[in-house]
Structure 1
Amino acid sequence: MSSDLIPLLWGATVQTLQMVFLSGLIAALLGIPLGVILHLTKAGQLMENLTINRILGVIVNAGRSVPFIILLVAIIPFTRMVVGTSIGTMAAVVPLTVGAIPFIARLIEGALMEVPAGLVEAAETMGASPRQIIQKVLIPEALPGIVNSITITLVTLVSYSAMAGAVGGGGLGDVGIRYGYYRFELDVMLATIVILLVLVQLIQSLGDALVRRIDHR
């Protein structure tokens, strides 16, 4: 691999990190409340509303069922409307975010389901309001699971970002396709794979360490 490709790989790595963490942040800000609502509106929960739960469930399931590469192309008009272009790092953030929101919402719903029902019942018995129960019981008790859900989402976004590179999204996927595939430069392809593996391992390791730090069960 020639020395002039090192800056290219570095720049692509930075672009990938920008895509992953920016889309992950936005998806978390939208997906976590959505997951909380999905949990609270289920039968027997604090804000039981089966109609809202079913509607949101259908929307979330629909979002999760669309393969990312198809979603990437299908929402190009929406991407152009939001960022003014369908090519580049910022353009890739839009479909990455849209794809991650339903994914993280279901993970958060699952994390909240792990909270023992007895804790919620005890808080209700003591006269706590639904808001207090959410803030003081559900979220704190489910925090390790929430952090783990965010970690899983970020790891998934790394692979999604590589797919985005195949259609002009930039990042390591773009370098791997343009140089490793079209130019048959195997060393560049291997380098992008190694960097992606390292990124995934780092994100997972940091997430696991944070979960261990905050999990006092």
Structure 2
Amino acid sequence: MTPTLQDLLLEAFWETLIMVGVSALIAVVCGLPLALLLHATGPGGLSARPWLNRPLGLLVNAVRSTPFIILMVAIIPFTRLVAGTSIGTGAAIVPLALAATAFLVRLFENALREVDPGVVEAARAMGATRLQIVWKVLVPEALPGLIAAVTVALVSLVGFSAIAGAVGGGGLGDLGIRFGYQRFMPEVMATVVIILILLVQGLQSLGDWLVRRLSRR
């Protein structure tokens, strides 16, 4: 039975959600500890360690500055090692997660820097340990900024997932290229674009709402 256009759109939309959701989850889980480490080991941090901060910062910047399409190609051997293949939705998650992690590390670090130093000093004066300051002061105080950073990363990941789809990663990008461009079906391309716009708007609105709620608290 030949799948209908609606079936193809639903499948592609689901693949895009999987790519964006899983890679974002991996990026948050890996990016927050790295951002905390960079913040703590930086100048004026809880435990300044220039010998650790500088190389780690350079590595993060190197990944961030690499265009996503080049990053995808450059880490194909690593992608095959992790996912067993370099094609498909599962394989696309590897470079997406790596790019999003580097992106989030810097955004998270900026959010942590915006925490009032007086709050940290007050916690120190009360005898709080470094770990307590990190998880009971820094992270809660920076939470609106952290959520805003995740929102920006999710929006960027939607665009990255479309690029991944164009080179065999599946999802809406793949559908738009295969049917909308290669088979000269402009209505498919237009539908894909509209879905991507609505997805981005939905993610941005949800993120803004969460930031407003947390900021009022």
Cα distance, 1:73 vs. partner? 1.0
Cα distance, 1:23 vs. partner? 0.4
Cα distance, 1:6 vs. partner? 1.1
Match of 2:13?
Answer: 13
CA distance in 2, matches of 1:15, 1:44: 43
| Moved >3 Å (runs of 4+) | none
1:90-109 matches, cutoff 5 A: 90-109=90-109
CA distance in 1, matches of 2:193, 2:51: 45
Match of 2:118?
Answer: 118
Write out per-residue CA displacement over residues 147-206 of structure 1, whole angstroms, 9 at most, x where no aligned residue: 111111111000000000111100000001101111111111111000000110111111
Match of 2:83?
Answer: 83
Q: How many residues align?
A: 215
SS at match of 1:167: helix
* Amino acid across the alignment from 1:104: L
TM-score w.r.t. length of structure 2: 0.97
CA distance in 2, matches of 1:91, 1:43: 38
Write out per-residue CA displacement over residues 98-145 of structure 1, whole angstroms, 9 at most, x where no aligned residue: 111110000000000110011111111111111111111100000000
Identical aligned residues as a percent: 58
CA distance in 2, matches of 1:39, 1:200: 30
TM-score w.r.t. length of structure 1: 0.97
Cα distance, 1:216 vs. partner? 2.8
SS at match of 1:97: helix
The yes-or-no answer on 1:210 pairing with 2:198 is no
Match of 1:164?
Answer: 164
1:147-158 matches, cutoff 5 A: 147-158=147-158
Match of 1:73?
Answer: 73
CA-atom RMSD in angstroms: 1.0
Cα distance, 1:76 vs. partner? 1.0
The yes-or-no answer on 1:195 pairing with 2:195 is yes
